[in-house]
Amino acid sequence: MNGLVAFMNGTWGRALRVILGLVLIYIGLFVWGGGAAGTILALIGLAPIVMGLWGRCLIEFLIPSTRGQRP
First to last CA, the chain: 13
Confidence at 43, pLDDT banded by 50, 70, 90: very high
> Average pLDDT for residues 18-47, to the nearest whole number?
93
Confidence at 62, pLDDT banded by 50, 70, 90: confident
Provide the pLDDT for residue 36: 93
Contact indicator for 28, 40 with CB cutoff of 8 Å = yes
Contact indicator for 21, 47 with CB cutoff of 8 Å = yes
Percent pLDDT > 90 in the chain is 48
Contact indicator for 71, 6 with CB cutoff of 8 Å = yes
Please say if the pLDDT value at position 70 is more than 70.
Answer: no
Cα separation, 50 vs 43, in Å, equals: 11
